Chains A and B, each alone.
Chain A
Amino acid sequence: MNFPSRLVEEAVAEVSKLPGIGKKTALRLVLHLLKQESYVTELLSGALLKARLNVRSCADCHCLSDEEKCTICINPRRDSQTLCVVEDTRDILAIENTGQYFGKYHVLGGVISPMERIGPDKLKIDSLLEKIEKNKDIREVILALSPTLEGDTTAFYITKKLRAYPLKISTIARGIPFGGELEYMDEITLGRSITTRTLFDPKED
């Protein structure tokens, strides 16, 4: 693209570095901002800068937080006997949106993948072990990792590391999604749902 303005070109180049945004979308966004009053851009850049400078990771669960500890960790009504292990902060949002979980979280910051040079030392696994060592009231650890090969490896690894503690270790159920039709399910998921079937309970939902 040939820009008549170097400044616009620079702005487009920066915006298009964002995930999911190509050159054309970036141009549209920049032109949109230029058309608005200048305070609109100031609000946007101000909010982004403030977030970037002030957001840090919670000292307890490592999710994104404004303060030293996040709102979930300091909430006294959260059940501190259950700990849900997730990959990143986005997973916390997803689980919070279900309204079905009232315990606390621990964010790993990724999954183990030596191919991509991500070993256990690059993740918050040591801090998870420390937390469990210190907090004797944790009774259950829920491994809510993606059902990918790396997710499974990480779950398996953590389970091995936690074997020494008197804990209940569970993992989120996997199988047929709501509204899914059996005939369109892949064999692996369906096969697993059959072997790990649950007792029928009409009171559920």
Chain B
Amino acid sequence: MYLEKLSLLYFKNYSSLDIRFSPDINLLTGLNGSGKTNLLDAIFCLCLTKSFLNTPETQLMTLQAPYFSIHGNFMGERGEHIIQYNYDGRKKSFLVDKQSYTRLSEHIGKFPAIVLTPYDTDMIRDGSEDRRKFFDTLFSQADAVYLHQLMRYQHFLKQRNGLLKAVSEGARLDYVLLETYDATLLELNTAISYTRSKLLQQLLPDVFSFYSLLSPEEEQPSILYLTEVLSADFAQAFEQNLKKDILLQRTGMGIHKDDFSFLLNDKPIKQYGSQGQQKTFMIALKLAQYTFLKKILQRRPILMMDDIFDKLDDVRIEKLIEWVKRDLDGQIFITDARPERSTAIVGHSSKDFRIFNIHHGSLLP
């Protein structure tokens, strides 16, 4: 699947734009603030129904504009699809071939897209919640049952916490009800934990091979799944934690406390990795995500690289571009503020490529 045509009206700094892309490599160049990232965000909006920068809709509109609209023509294995995303300040309309969804979430996975940004490395430093969210989103697409289990877990966790709250406020603890929640949560804990561990193992070989593709050093990247759930005495520990749970009015153990530790040569990359190593790690993880999704969804996601050459040495940039030219079999969008660098590298390719020079929200010839 690839994006053939994109039309924007009043989207961020584009008042009006019509653009035709290459099915292979698209290079977007322009000065800082010209609108390269906004263009990627528009594409992302069509694929995932929202901005990858988490910008609210009111701020996706050009200042003072009455509405915005993004239209895209996608060419898939089974013909053309038109996606329209309009917002008039109050109402969002999201149509695929003029049809709306009952739930917008049904769109996820049909037009997959992955974006690599300079902010990706934040995930290494941020709290465990962001890492869980990354893997949960990915694994949910691979396994509908996993998503269902996660939703059930979150729900029952809230109910159990509601029960704990009532008890700490003086209500009598109904042990049968607590047992009911505990039994369900225990079962879900085990199932979710098992799936997390299993799917991570499927992802890891690709992380490793992408990392070694990029890095000339002999470095061993790895991701460690940290959970209390799979230990043999979890059920017992969970039970013994009850007093503390009542005191804190929330459940202290379970998969909502899991973490994923990113390692390089068995040491946490958060503390021991250089900026370049962290960046390489995240690129490898994102490209592994790309491969993973491609396999599951049986369609090629659109790949976007937003200004990721910063802090990467020339060897790594060259290796990455080489992979794009040689091995990538889907559409890619690359933004770069320094056109001479990327143009030179992309230039000697057998693939179709187009260069777009963007200036203040419009296209230079």
Residues of A within 8 A of B (CB): 112-117, 119-121, 149-150, 153, 156-157, 160-161, 187-188, 191
Bound together, the chains give a CA A157 to CA B180 distance in angstroms of 6
Q: What are the residues of chain A within 8 A of B205 when measuring CB–CB?
A: none
From B118-126, B150-158, B266-274, B308-316, the one touching the partner chain is: B150-158
Question: Are the CB atoms of B152 and A149 closer together than 8 Å?
Answer: yes
What is the distance, in angstroms, from B216's C-beta to the closest C-beta of chain A? 45
Question: Are the CB atoms of A160 and B176 closer together than 8 Å?
Answer: yes
Bound together, the chains give a CA A117 to CA B170 distance in angstroms of 13
Whether B140 is near chain A, meaning CB under 8 Å from some CB there, is no
Q: Which residue of A lies closest to B155 (CB)?
A: A149
Whether B184 is near chain A, meaning CB under 8 Å from some CB there, is yes
Whether B174 is near chain A, meaning CB under 8 Å from some CB there, is yes
Q: Which residue of A lies closest to B156 (CB)?
A: A149
Residues of B within 8 A of A (CB): 144-145, 148, 152, 155-156, 158-163, 165-166, 171, 174, 176-177, 179-181, 183-184
Contact A119-B177, Cβ < 8 Å, known A114-B162, A114-B163, A114-B166 = yes
Question: Are the CB atoms of B179 and A160 closer together than 8 Å?
Answer: yes
Q: Which residue of A lies closest to B165 (CB)?
A: A114
Interface of B, secondary structure class, is helix
Bound together, the chains give a CA A112 to CA B184 distance in angstroms of 15
Q: Which residue of B lies closest to A159 (CB)?
A: B180
What is the distance, in angstroms, from B83's C-beta to the closest C-beta of chain A? 22
Q: Which residue of B lies closest to A117 (CB)?
A: B166
17 contacts between A and B (CB under 8 A): A112-B177, A114-B159, A114-B162, A115-B159, A119-B163, A149-B152, A149-B155, A150-B159, A153-B156, A153-B159, A153-B180, A157-B180, A160-B176, A160-B180, A161-B176, A187-B145, A191-B145
What is the distance, in angstroms, from B19's C-beta to the closest C-beta of chain A? 37
Q: What are the residues of chain B within 8 A of A161 when measuring CB–CB?
A: 176
Question: Are the CB atoms of B180 and A119 closer together than 8 Å?
Answer: no
Contact A153-B145, Cβ < 8 Å, known A113-B162, A161-B176 = no
Q: What are the residues of chain B within 8 A of A191 when measuring CB–CB?
A: 145
What is the distance, in angstroms, from B96's C-beta to the closest C-beta of chain A? 17
Q: Which residue of B lies closest to A155 (CB)?
A: B180
What is the distance, in angstroms, from B157's C-beta to the closest C-beta of chain A? 10
Give 6 new A-B contacts, CB below 8 A, not counting A119-B177, A120-B176: A113-B162, A114-B160, A114-B177, A119-B166, A120-B177, A149-B156
